[in-house]
Structure 1
Amino acid sequence: MGRGGPPGLGGGWAMTTQPLSNPFALADPAVLKGLLRRHGFTWKKRLGQNFLIDARVLARLIDAAELRPDDGVFEVGPGAGVVTRLAATRARRVVAVEKDACLRPVLAEVLAGLPHVEVVFADVLKLRLPDVWGRFHDCAGVKVIANLPYYVTTPILFHLLEAGVRMDSIVVMVQREVAQRLAAAPGSKDYGALSVAVQYRCSVERVLQVRAGAFLPPPEVDSAVVRLRVRGEPPVAVRDEQMFFRVVRAAFATRRKTLANALTGGLEWSKELCAAVLARAGVDGGRRGETLSLQEFAAVADAWAALTAT
């Protein structure tokens, strides 16, 4: 018999029958295809479903998560449970969120006999994550593992980082160009609002490049595994975090504009206020937003806070 998820998390259950014997078995494409065929599963392109079939990549991904026996794992997008099975051998508790309810019988077979694993069939963006985190009350830390399609990578990362829940790290499989954006430095073509927002909250480490052939079906582009270590404190102190992110978004909203024009247009500042803010921050308004470091964005936001304080 299974049990439901926590309040507000309908669609979850715990596994109670016998598991597959080898946690790497599903990295064999023949085994995975047979499993999916048995349950009549068909891929949904709109969900960006690509299941990992490379045992070497699977091992490297799990190693990157640095799981300990007393850790909890929150997995986004378990798919056929390839990563979930292996994570369950190393962690105290695993909660996986899967959007496609058609994978219910697949995951029931793959994760059978693992009472410390729970699957919730829901859109992770609609979940209240503090409710989910109640499942990790007996865990020393929580590690996030995610395989994210391109179209939802940014919203899901922001949803995780802004949820106000404790996380040690996020190990994420993303398209290669997204990995480049996450780790990009100021002045590079890949540097943008996502780079600033993630680097404000995490240190970023690219772990592994992953060829398209490591997935079933293969995506059109290569991917990468990135480890985000969640910071205890941001690398820069800001007086008004909300304004910090407003400045960042405005600066990147129109990349061809100068910083002064981007801020006056995006934040509806007067030219006089913008000039005073940038002068106090020591930042040249003729620069482009993509050349500013985290420290300079913080200086602009703090200058605004100082000049508008009442």
Structure 2
Amino acid sequence: MTQKNKPHQHKKRFGQNFLNNDRVIQQIVMAIQPKPDQHLVEIGPGEAALTQPLLEVVKILDIIEIDNDLIGPLTQKLGHYPAFHLHHTDALTFDYHQLLKDENDRLRVVGNLPYNISSPLLFHLMQYGNRITDMHFMLQKEVVERITAEPGSKTYGRLSVMLQYACATEYLFTVGPENFTPPPKVDSAIIRLTPYQTKPYSATSESDLSDLVRQSFSQKRKTLRNNLKGWLTDDDIEACGVRPSDRAETLSVADFVALADCYTAKGAI
């Protein structure tokens, strides 16, 4: 076997598990519903299972790939498509503003995200929410359940609050390990994230909100009174319509915004 035809060696450090089921690929494309005039971005194309169907529809597909060994094969296989624009870079640090063609351009982001970077990558993408129409991602099922969890559930946490603050979240469907090469040890799921252009609850300081949510969940078994000691008094918490004896996992996004605004206001005094 020549070097040219040698199959790609899947790299654990990049969390590479590539889709191999045409039916699932078509199901994902149907969920995305790409249109010719839309600007799509794919993160982690792998062996282009999803990339090729998208290239056949849209006029612009920016592709983000970190693995040097995939750049040549992707270019060779797909470089003839007019929509093909490949960026050999790290999706975690990439400035997605670079992709915007003009002030009216908006991105639709898709990808089969590596499990080991999914959360930090989602937080990175939230910075560009006002220029992103929606995002469709394959993630570990457990992560999708955490993102879409409701207050009071065991999976509700910081990731739930911060992504639900920024986006409408929708669990679309589950994808089993048998649909990947190599098969992962866990189920995956497809999620749709639609960034709010006008948030239902808008924090005075999103930085303070992020810090306060992190602190509130720092010790999940402890109450807000304990976790927010030195941040807010019992009176402060009660003034927000929240009981100091509550745990963070029982609070809504609106509750956290109210607490964060109170914390911001105290800092401004």
On the 8 A contact 2:59/2:82 being kept in 1, the answer is: no
Which residue of structure 2 lines up, in the alignment, with residue 251 of structure 1? 216
Which residue of structure 1 lines up, in the alignment, with residue 28 of structure 2? 61
One-letter identity of the residue aligned with 1:88: L
Q: CA distance change for structure 1 residues 263 and 53 in 2, over 3 Å: closer, same or farther?
A: same
Shift of 1:194: 0.5
Which residue of structure 2 lines up, in the alignment, with residue 231 of structure 1? 196
3-state SS of the aligned residue for 2:143?
Answer: helix
Which residue of structure 2 lines up, in the alignment, with residue 116 of structure 1? 83
Which residue of structure 2 lines up, in the alignment, with residue 6 of structure 1? none
Q: Name which of 185, 210, 219 aligns with 1:220.
A: 185
3-state SS of the aligned residue for 1:86?
Answer: helix
Is residue 302 of structure 1 aligned with residue 261 of structure 2?
yes
Shift of 1:304: 2.4
| 1:107-144 Cα distance to aligned partner (Å, 9 max, x none) | 0232131122111111111212212x23x449853210
Over aligned residues, Cα RMSD in angstroms? 2.1
Q: CA distance change for structure 1 residues 212 and 37 in 2, over 3 Å: closer, same or farther?
A: farther
Which residue of structure 2 lines up, in the alignment, with residue 44 of structure 1? 11
Measured in 2, the distance between the counterparts of 1:144 and 1:190 equals: 25
Is residue 75 of structure 1 aligned with residue 19 of structure 2?
no
Runs of 5+ in structure 2 lacking a partner?
A: none
Is residue 286 of structure 1 aligned with residue 245 of structure 2?
yes
| 1:82-109 Cα distance to aligned partner (Å, 9 max, x none) | 1111111121200111110101222023
TM-score, reference length from structure 2: 0.93
Aligned length: 269
Q: CA distance change for structure 1 residues 143 and 98 in 2, over 3 Å: closer, same or farther?
A: same
Which residue of structure 1 lines up, in the alignment, with residue 207 of structure 2? 242
| 1:162-185 Cα distance to aligned partner (Å, 9 max, x none) | 136501100000011011011000
On the 8 A contact 2:158/2:214 being kept in 1, the answer is: yes
Which aligned runs of 4 or more in structure 1 are off by greater than 4 angstroms?
Answer: none
Measured in 1, the distance between the counterparts of 2:43 and 2:210 equals: 25
One-letter identity of the residue aligned with 1:189: K
One-letter identity of the residue aligned with 2:261: D
Which residue of structure 2 lines up, in the alignment, with residue 175 of structure 1? 140
On the 8 A contact 2:47/2:70 being kept in 1, the answer is: yes
Measured in 1, the distance between the counterparts of 2:238 and 2:77 equals: 60
Measured in 1, the distance between the counterparts of 2:37 and 2:182 equals: 34
Greater Cα radius of gyration, structure 1 or 2? 1
Identity percentage of aligned residues = 35
Matches within 5 A, 1:90-129: 90-129=57-96
Q: CA distance change for structure 1 residues 138 and 257 in 2, over 3 Å: closer, same or farther?
A: closer
Runs of 5+ in structure 1 lacking a partner?
A: 1-33
Measured in 2, the distance between the counterparts of 1:37 and 1:197 equals: 45
One-letter identity of the residue aligned with 1:199: Q
Measured in 2, the distance between the counterparts of 1:139 and 1:115 equals: 21
